[in-house]
């Protein structure tokens, strides 16, 4: 029960599932919030450079150095209904973690709020997507992540797009920035059920052409997932599996700005602070402001 006696609020249940770290501008109570930020410090299936479990607090520290007022959106973030409920307490089994995310996010969604997850590895997104089976999905990612299983685990971070396809169905996932696909994935008969925009295609046609195509095909509800390795390593070096020749941060920002009003869930994953020079954490923090600021501006 919330502070105002509203039975639908899940503040009490969520308070025992999460730690109490906060992002600077998240000053609203859970009951009053429209945007609910939380972290999931988990990187158990990461296959190259681990450390994304450290990302949620690194993003929070970087966020402390951003201005709370954004003149481009005309918003003052402390005045907006933003809450940070801390980090989810996680187990070691990826399936259990994904299931826990699904359950906790269901509370947030049932309370009419928009979840914003700070990962952690990309496998975690599956838990959120399960709460939006009627949505389309935009993914920023260097990798196709379309393996059915990897290293014996169907919840590996290399399988998240495949798991999302099983939830959302064909023609509803748009992955932007792709430049790494295995032969096994490429030859999979279901591979074409996801629209992959390669980084080369984005550079050739421009991000506006990508936006136009997604706009024609996506529905009115969109789940937005940012794997930070989708961005070129020159801008976002602190990632677990860096891949050269990526898209730009301004490309990602353009997508966020355009689709903000339709976004019902949002995550930033695969950021590894131990390999960062400070740029990646700051960029991740700024993407949060871009999402909330542009959504408030266009609402």
| Tens-binned pLDDT, residue by residue, of the chain (299 aa) | 334 444 567 776 666 555 566 898 999 999 999 999 999 998 765 666 676 677 899 999 999 999 999 999 999 999 999 999 999 988 888 899 999 999 999 999 999 999 999 988 888 999 999 999 999 999 999 999 999 866 677 777 678 999 999 999 999 999 999 999 999 999 999 999 999 999 999 999 999 999 999 999 999 999 999 999 999 999 999 998 899 999 999 999 999 999 999 999 999 998 989 988 989 999 999 999 999 999 998 54
Distance CA 211, CA 250 (A): 13
- Decide if 265 is inside a domain: yes
DSSP collapsed to 3 states, 224-284: EEEEHHHECCCCCCCECCCCCCCECHHHHHHHHHHHHHHEEEEEEECECHHHCCCHHHHHH
At 229 the pLDDT is 95
- Decide if 5 is inside a domain: no
CATH number of the domain bearing residue 198: 3.40.800.10
- Decide if 3 is inside a domain: no
- Decide if 192 is inside a domain: yes
At 11 the pLDDT is 73
At residue 160, the 3 state secondary structure works out as: helix
Q: Is 5 left (phi over 0), alpha (psi -120 to 50) or beta?
A: left
Residue-range definition of the domain harbouring residue 109: 11-298
At 5 the pLDDT is 41
Distance CA 107, CA 129 (A): 14
CA distances from 22 to 18, 41, 58, 64, 176 (A): 11, 14, 11, 10, 30
Q: Looking at the 3D structure of the chain, how many domains does it have?
A: 1
At residue 294, the 3 state secondary structure works out as: helix
- Decide if 167 is inside a domain: yes
- Decide if 6 is inside a domain: no
Distance CA 190, CA 9 (A): 40
At 119 the pLDDT is 85
At 4 the pLDDT is 40
At 22 the pLDDT is 86
At 289 the pLDDT is 98
At 51 the pLDDT is 64
Distance CA 29, CA 81 (A): 8
- Decide if 2 is inside a domain: no
- Decide if 277 is inside a domain: yes
Distance CA 175, CA 262 (A): 17
């Amino acid at each position: 029960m919330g502070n105002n006696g509203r039975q639908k609020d899940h503040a009490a249940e969520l308070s025992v599932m999460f730690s109490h770290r906060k992002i600077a501008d998240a000053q609203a109570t859970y009951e009053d919030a429209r945007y609910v930020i939380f972290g999931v410090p988990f990187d158990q299936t990461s296959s190259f450079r681990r450390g994304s479990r450290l990302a949620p607090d690194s993003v929070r520290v970087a966020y402390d150095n951003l201005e709370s007022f954004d003149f481009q959106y005309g918003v003052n973030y402390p005045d907006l209904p933003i809450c940070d409920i801390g980090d989810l307490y996680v187990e070691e089994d990826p399936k259990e973690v994904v299931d826990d995310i699904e359950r906790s996010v269901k509370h947030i969604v049932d309370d009419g709020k928009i979840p914003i997850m700070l990962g952690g590895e990309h496998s975690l997104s599956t838990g959120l997507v399960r709460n939006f089976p009627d949505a389309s999905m935009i993914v920023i990612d260097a990798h196709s992540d379309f393996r059915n299983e990897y290293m014996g685990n169907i919840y590996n971070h290399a399988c998240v797009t495949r798991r999302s396809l099983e939830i959302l169905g064909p023609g509803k996932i748009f992955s932007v920035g792709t430049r790494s696909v295995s032969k096994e994935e490429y030859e999979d008969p279901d591979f074409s059920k996801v629209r992959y925009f390669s980084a080369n295609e984005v550079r050739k046609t421009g991000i506006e052409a990508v936006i136009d195509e997604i706009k024609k095909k996506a529905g009115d509800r969109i789940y937005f997932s940012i794997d930070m390795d989708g961005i070129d390593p020159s801008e976002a070096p602190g990632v677990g599996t860096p891949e050269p020749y990526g898209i730009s941060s301004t490309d990602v920002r353009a997508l966020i700005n355009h689709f903000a009003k339709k976004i019902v869930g949002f995550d930033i994953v695969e950021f590894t602070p131990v390999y960062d020079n400070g740029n990646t954490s700051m960029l991740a923090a700024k993407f949060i402001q871009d999402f909330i600021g542009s959504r408030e501006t266009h609402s």
